[in-house]
Structure 1
């Protein structure tokens, strides 16, 4: 037992170090990611948990420069989408499973919102596995939340059939920058013991005090001519009108793709 503990402990420490060292990388070296390495990372990703072992997700791997250029507008032309050697689009995918059911004399009943949520969760689980595996192999990654904002553009560019919806996009490659670790709220802010404990005004003040006092975020407030950091989020970065617009667009996508 002592020998087993000694052999496994270093790897455990390496895994925790990988998780605690996560950075969003937006600048990449002009170096190709070898196919064998990419396959190793994707295989690790596909070991993620999945509902009923159905694996109702797909990963579209884009390395073609022309297609990356076409994807860029859907991600508001963020430079990393074109610069990164690999773009991974993780999709909720009931198309494959539905076809299998029909060919096997089974009638699928997955044209509903619950099924979309099931597949979306599957896609996000595999995406996070891929990201951890990539970082463990010395690569950099960045998630792009713009995927669901402009899902229809991505569907058109990647030729996604009915039953498939893009959920998130990840750029992957060798980092050409070493940004500081992004701040995180203290553990007490997100962990509830046994049952949910709602937050008092004093709790909120304490939890967000460090973030609000950060020079970086104070600069955000000043640059945007706002009174508080919260106003930067509500009035500038994630506005109500934008949220409602992109919500409506996503609902159209879900209807068109057969989930509503």
Structure 2
């Protein structure tokens, strides 16, 4: 299992090979063994196999080819709809129309998503997280007919790999692990921790291709711009209000 985790990589190209329903169910069932707040399991997983539905979903993910190329797309949702209905049918008044409850359900959904990914990779499948869900949650809600109380938080494509990509870099352990309490960074420690990332040929090319001076500028000026962050923040907040998690 440690080898599966340490050798993992994102797969964006898949073979034209379906995933048997029995195998998919086995992987999804393993995912439901993930930790969950109070054993409420306030999440849902929408499985997309249909080609027409993939066509509808594709623009929600900026037309990244994985959506159409992968045999299975999984949309993991924070879901208090089911739990609320159960409560009301059992003479219990739910009080989950608030931001804390959304966070609870989102954490549950992400724990399940990662567990499903690990199970899939252990079975020889490839996966790719798509970071576009929180940008276009409103559109995904329409495509998947998600009712009030349900918000998509992660999408994963799943299939048999048709590529062998190199592993992308990661920061060293000391960049992300703090012992006993948070140890803030100095200018020198930042330089040291990002030295290897900035020296990689592919990242240097990334800087040059985008006409920037530093790798950090690629992130702030091109990939994750302030204006975009503010726009999509508003979209997501509107979604949370519409779906019943914010007043």
- Is TM (by shorter chain) over 0.5? yes
Looking at structure 2, the residues matched to 27 and 69 of structure 1 have their Cα atoms a distance apart, in angstroms, of 17
Query: Could you tell me which of 201, 220, 230 is aligned with 1:234?
Result: 220
The DSSP-based 3-state class of the residue aligned with 2:28 is: helix
Looking at structure 1, the residues matched to 185 and 24 of structure 2 have their Cα atoms a distance apart, in angstroms, of 43
Please name the residue that 2:98 is paired with: 112
The DSSP-based 3-state class of the residue aligned with 2:127 is: strand
Aligned-pair CA distance for 1:194: 0.2
- Cα RMSD between the aligned structures? 0.3
Looking at structure 2, the residues matched to 180 and 39 of structure 1 have their Cα atoms a distance apart, in angstroms, of 29
The DSSP-based 3-state class of the residue aligned with 1:28 is: coil
Query: Could you tell me which of 174, 182, 196 is aligned with 1:196?
Result: 182
Please list, as runs of the form range in 1=range in 2, the aligned pairs for 1:77-156 lying within 5 A after superposition.
Answer: 77-156=63-142
Is 1:205–2:200 an aligned residue pair? no
**Misfit runs of 4+, over 4 Å:** none
Query: Could you tell me which of 39, 43, 46 is aligned with 1:60?
Result: 46
Please name the residue that 1:253 is paired with: 239
Query: Could you tell me which of 25, 30, 34 is aligned with 1:39?
Result: 25
Aligned-pair CA distance for 1:182: 1.1
Looking at structure 2, the residues matched to 153 and 66 of structure 1 have their Cα atoms a distance apart, in angstroms, of 16
Please name the residue that 1:170 is paired with: 156
The DSSP-based 3-state class of the residue aligned with 1:148 is: coil
Aligned-pair CA distance for 1:86: 0.1
Quick check: which one's helix share is greater? Answer: 1
Looking at structure 1, the residues matched to 8 and 134 of structure 2 have their Cα atoms a distance apart, in angstroms, of 23
For residues 172-218 of structure 1, what are the alpha-carbon distances to aligned partners after superposition, in whole Å with 9 as ceiling and x for unaligned?
00000010111100000000000000000000000000000000000
Looking at structure 2, the residues matched to 87 and 39 of structure 1 have their Cα atoms a distance apart, in angstroms, of 14
| TM-score, with structure 2 as normaliser | 0.99
Unpaired runs of 5+ residues, structure 2, are: none
| TM-score, with structure 1 as normaliser | 0.94
